A and B are shown apart, each in its own frame.
Chain A
Amino acid sequence: MTEAERHTYDVVVIGAGGAGLRAAIEARAHGMRTAIICKSLFGKAHTVMAEGGIAASMGNVNSNDNWQVHFRDTMRGGKFLNHFRMAELHAREAPDRVWELETWGALFDRTKDGRISQRNFGGHEYPRLAHVGDRTGLELIRTLQQQVVALQQQDEREFGDPEARIKVFAEHTVTRILKDGSRVAGVFGYARETGRFFTIEAPAVVLATGGIGKSFKVTSNSWEYTGDGHALALLAGAPLMNMEFVQFHPTGMVWPPSVKGILVTESVRGDGGVLRNSEGDRFMFKYIPDVFKSQYAQGPDEADRWYADPDNNRRPPELLPRDEVARAINNEVKEGRGSPHGGVFLDVSTRMPAEEIKRRLPSMHHQFLELADVDITAEPMEVGPTCHYVMGGVAVDPDTAQAEDVPGLYAAGEVAGGMHGSNRLGGNSLSDLLVFGRRAGLHAAEYAGGIGADRPVVGQQAVDAAAEEALRPFGLAEMVEPDGPPEGGGPPENPYTLHTELQQTMNDLVGIIRREPEMREALQRLARLRARAKQAVVEGHRQFNPGWHLALDLRNMLLVSECVARAALTRTESRGGHTRDDFPTMDREWRRKLLICRLAAGAETAEVTPRPNPAMRRDLMELFDAEELQKYLTDEELQHYSSEDAEGQE
């Protein structure tokens, strides 16, 4: 029998980023004893790295803004593949979620009349991003962290125990969701510090584990982004959707090599920065696609006027949605007009005074000075695309954030799918975290609260199996040492080497521009890596052992990478964060289909199947004009909406 520390809670939240903390605060507010689990220290989750801002149509800078406009921008950014209901809830609720942060102590930058200031960002019609310089994520996570502390202080006063109703299990990693029949029963994992196992029995589990970027070589994401939540959901029997859509942020650092991929915030462009190629040409004007022609300036003069007079000019094409800008940069480099280190130039130095750059973009100034010896107030930056965000994720009910098919499982934040369609707009993630984090916490609490005496139980067998799986890399080490290859064959493998090969494979073969033969090749390589990952061995003991941790993360990265590759191979069109060289155009028929990934019990790879994309509600459809809809919807769909009696048929 496995030795594991056992706990019991009402709601377990996996993840202490924006989504997880907001969910936990809500669950606790509804009286649930809540546990938060995270792989890093408290306050270090990926959300801390967000820079530019949080999108909410408060209308503080331009009073024409409202939730309908935000909704429209979000759908356009996602090329109409978004779940309309999620996009609607998000746009409606984001302002309240931001204002709430102020009541917990957040200090956003202000407008002249003392309100929260809002900045321009790609794809957003009006200045919409609440921000704190370029460290908005830090403000968000610190505010939520401090609110958790405030709740603990309350418990201290009430019960003499700060952790009576909300406790953070920092540096703990979950490796399995445990079930009782079809229902969630709890989680299993290990404490990183000691290597000891733990289980938490709980009827409701919220996944808030973030993204998958560490499967790619050039990425803005940290070691945490190994797709754990995506894999945990699959392994628990819940489906993923939209996994082919991976966002490559157009501007990552490209030099020196050790910082390649680190993000250069979009605020640089939002605040006036421009992109140029090696010939000094502001090339983005060449890349405005037809669907956006009417909304973007056709030349530099109009674009430059827009910053001061947005009502009478159209926005600069540097602020197109990210997929467009990333592809444009990719193309400039491919055609030989790149910068010395294989990127393009991003320049603010000729656009505003040095002091203003330092005030508006302090951490970019610092980052380039310290890491690349580049003073952005005096010279341009070199930038290129970097893997940044996954639009795909757990298929959830839009209102409750409940994962399909697994009662008791919820998902919010980057790990959930649907909200952003095929491409996320900048700033829409932080707001997504709060809107759906709150909803997930609320509904998880209601579910757990309503379960009464019928609580699911964690079975010993499942715990033993999870422990065995986690110990496998050590077992192998013992097996191989005396007499050669372990059972199952193959030489022992170094997890770091496997990880590097996986990243190279995804980067080269399922990256920003995709082709069928390359994706087939990727799938073959992934299959080989999967076999080799079973032979991963680790040195040393269980206490804080990064090699062991990585060996266990490989399972998740491989599973998720296969989903990405398979879904990408299946979708024979180009849309948002999925660009096919062999199918370069957007196909209106494909908008009606979503690709779903499932893992059958005992199977090693997920299956991908299409299913219909739910049709948008009529009142939301009416927010767009017919001409625009024609670009996205099939004739059949358009007819359906234009016929009088179609109401209520969905």
Chain B
Amino acid sequence: MSYQARFRVWRGDEAGGELTDYEVEVNEGEVVLDIVHRLQATQTPDLAVRWNCKAGKCGSCSAEVNGRPRLMCMTRMSTFSPEETVTITPMRTFPVIKDLVTDVSFNYEKAREIPSFQPPEGVAAGEYRMAQEDVQRSQEFRKCIECFLCQNTCHVVRDHEENKAAFAGPRFLMRQAELEMHPLDARKRRAEEAQEEHGLGYCNITKCCTEVCPEHIHITDNALIPLKERAVDRKYDPLVWLGSKIRRRTG
């Protein structure tokens, strides 16, 4: 079941680089990350790549395989024909450090701009009570493994360096939605904040982020659109805002 596959891997650093051709063995059941590891072990030991879990749980091995943003550890070789050349390039939206490794510090900066969970006053540790159906919505967003593929894909910042300062990106707008829907978060006006400070308005709900999410989180439908609706509703009607907070509490 083994065959020799043709691979093209982007090699280089911030100063520039190019696609380099390799021929490498592929065995049954392997994923793209296995092939990258085989290249390291047998042909080019200094090929830089990030990975940890090799099971789609840590979000380290993001790259673009034949131009599609993917986790390398979850991309089966059986999805390509043996004749096909497989091209691996680093995520395009972030500056390259070396080979397949990019500088993702943009995401960590954005993470820091989203106000943290604000615990409810007067509720002691151990006294938190929440219903499963109320935590479920935020739990969907907490499945995020921070692979940053959505951040890489969103057209607002892909090839638009100038938007990066004002736009938190789908992952971190979703973080606002997560906290907004957290049954016990005490911070108010998260949706408006997302709109006014984190660039929610740039999002025109194209759903490209949702399509690449390896966790199959409905980023656009379940996080971004509801967040937009809340921002709009409450802007015009303070009672809606009050009501939504109160309704969410009694769960």
Interface residues of A (CB under 8 A from B): 40-44, 46, 48-49, 95-96, 99-100, 102-105, 107-110, 113-115, 117, 132-133, 135, 138-139, 142, 146-147, 149-150, 152-153, 156, 162, 193, 222-224, 255-259, 262-263, 363, 366-367, 370-372, 494-497, 500, 538-541, 543-548
Contacts and interface: CB of A to CB of B under 8 A. Distances in A.
A193 B97 contact: yes
A140 to B, nearest CB: 11
B29 A258 contact: yes
A135 B52 contact: no
Main secondary structure of the interface of B (DSSP, over half): loop
Given A132-B139, A371-B31, A96 B54 contact: no
Contact of B129 (A44, A114, A138): A114
Contacts of A133: 139
Interface of B: 13, 27-31, 34, 40-42, 44-60, 74, 76, 97-99, 101, 104, 108, 111-112, 115-117, 119, 125-126, 128-132, 135, 138-139, 142-146, 179, 182, 185
Most buried by A among B42, B108, B182: B108
Given A96-B125, A99-B125, A222-B54, A544 B97 contact: yes
A495 B45 CA distance: 9
A153 B116 contact: yes
A103 B125 contact: yes
Contacts of A259: 29, 54-55
A222 B46 CA distance: 19
B105 to A, nearest CB: 9
A371 B54 CA distance: 10
A385 to B, nearest CB: 17
Contacts of A105: 116-117, 119, 179, 182, 185
A96 B13 CA distance: 47
Nearest to B144: A142
27 contacts: A41-B60, A42-B108, A44-B52, A44-B59, A48-B58, A49-B57, A103-B128, A110-B131, A114-B130, A115-B129, A146-B116, A147-B116, A150-B116, A152-B112, A153-B112, A193-B97, A193-B98, A222-B51, A224-B52, A256-B29, A363-B57, A371-B31, A372-B29, A495-B45, A539-B46, A543-B48, A547-B45
A367 B125 contact: no
Contacts of A224: 52
A100 B125 contact: yes
B115 A257 contact: no
Contacts of B182: 105, 107
Nearest to B48: A544
Contacts of A104: 117, 119
B135 A150 contact: no
Nearest to B45: A547
Nearest to B104: A41
B58 A44 contact: yes
A49 B142 contact: no
B50 A41 contact: yes
Most buried by B among A100, A150, A372, A500: A150
B146 A43 contact: yes
B146 A40 contact: no
A288 B129 CA distance: 39
